[in-house]
Amino acid sequence: MEKLPTGRDKPWLAPLAGYSDLPFRLLCREYGAAVCETEMISAKGLVYAGRATRDLLATDVLDQPLVAQLFGAEPEFLRKAVDLLLKAGFIWFDLNMGCSVRKVMRQGAGAALLADHDKAIAAAMALLSAAGRGRVGVKLRLGVQGEQALTPALCELALRLEDMGAGWLTLHPRTARQGFGGQADWDALAGLSVRLSLPLLASGDLLKAEDGLRCLDYTGASGVMYARGAMRDPTIFSAHRALCRNMCPQQPDADILYAVILRHVALARAFSPDMRALRKMRSVIPLYARSLSGVRVLRDAVCRSATWRELEDVLAAFFLTGKS
């Protein structure tokens, strides 16, 4: 059976709410992302045909391989959502058991599933029964609250998911209560990695490509999934692949960042031409340029841009003449 590419030199892009839309995924692929995931999608929202949910599923022939990440706690909605996605051409799926956002956990979804492993297994089985063995991954955290450590209960859940036919697992080694605070527990990744036969992807505190390689060396994980690191710098994927070849990656200076931003703008204009895309770019650009001198001036000018032409003029003034 066909498998998704995993391995030391095949970094993935995480499902990033508000960020990993089609233009951003295509940008990351151009810089070397081996696999991308959609933004987190509500199974119930998809079944009820919400417009916002449908928009998250926009894709393109160049956007492959693509994993659709779903969240939900009710097996019947998860199963129906997969059926709809299969009809739309999707073949790879991921079940979110890691989201710590309160409104998701209040539904019993995301990381809340880790508080009831029977419900977690039922949710995973719903996806697997619809999609088939090997075509579903599961995103995990260490638990809802309590000690930040790999517990026997989480190991048992992971092994049950493996036996059921999960194709891969991803572990963000923090509890839901921690959110993104504290430090990711790479010892937990190492402890789970040796217990599994299926691929385990590492997530958490991978802000630079060097972090990804250190994590792989320390944990023995099958691969890495970049989240915040990719949001800040999509060239993290090319840097990761360069390090895997024992090459020195290019540092993202102002010229490289300008090229990244222009390419992201071009993709946004091509695939998301309405004003929502422009508003999103106004928040993304300052994040890319956060380390540059004068970024506050750039942020103010970008936020005042009402058209794509105005935005491009602001960027040219900042990066080419320094007069934004």
- Secondary structure (DSSP) of 229-297: HHHH-TTHHHHHHHHHTT-PPPP--HHHHHHHHHHHHHHHHHH--SHHHHHHHHHHHHHHTTTSTTHHH
pLDDT score at 313: 96
Task: Identify the three-state secondary structure at position 107.
Answer: coil
Confidence of residue 324 (pLDDT cuts 50, 70, 90): very low
Residues 150-209 pLDDT 10s: 999 999 999 999 999 999 999 999 998 888 888 899 999 999 999 999 999 999 999 999
Q: Tell me the mean pLDDT in the region 292-309.
A: 93
Is the CB of residue 165 less than 8 Å from the CB of residue 125? no
Distance CA 305, CA 301 (A): 7
Percentage of residues of the chain with pLDDT beyond 90? 86
- The DSSP call for residue 60 is -
pLDDT over 60 (residue 304): yes
Residues 8, 241 contacting (CB under 8 angstroms): no
Both structure tokens of 234: 């999509």
Write b or e for each residue in 150-162: b if 16 or more Cβ atoms lie within 10 A of its Cβ, otherwise e.
Answer: beeebeebbeebb
CATH fold for domain 12-244: TIM Barrel (3.20.20)
Catalytic choice (99, 215, 244, 303): 99
pLDDT tens string 31-72: 999 999 999 999 999 999 877 787 889 999 999 999 999 999
The Cα 272–Cα 86 span in angstroms is: 24
Say whether 64 sits in a helix, a strand or coil: coil
Q: To which H or E segment does residue 143 belong? A: strand 136-143
Per-residue pLDDT, 258 = 96
Q: What does the pLDDT look like over 239-289, one tens digit per residue? A: 999 999 999 988 889 999 999 999 999 999 999 877 889 999 999 999 999
- Per residue in 93-130, pLDDT (tens digit) is 999 999 999 999 999 999 999 999 999 999 999 999 99
pLDDT at 323: 47
Q: What is the pLDDT of residue 146?
A: 73
Residue 28 bears catalytic tag:
no
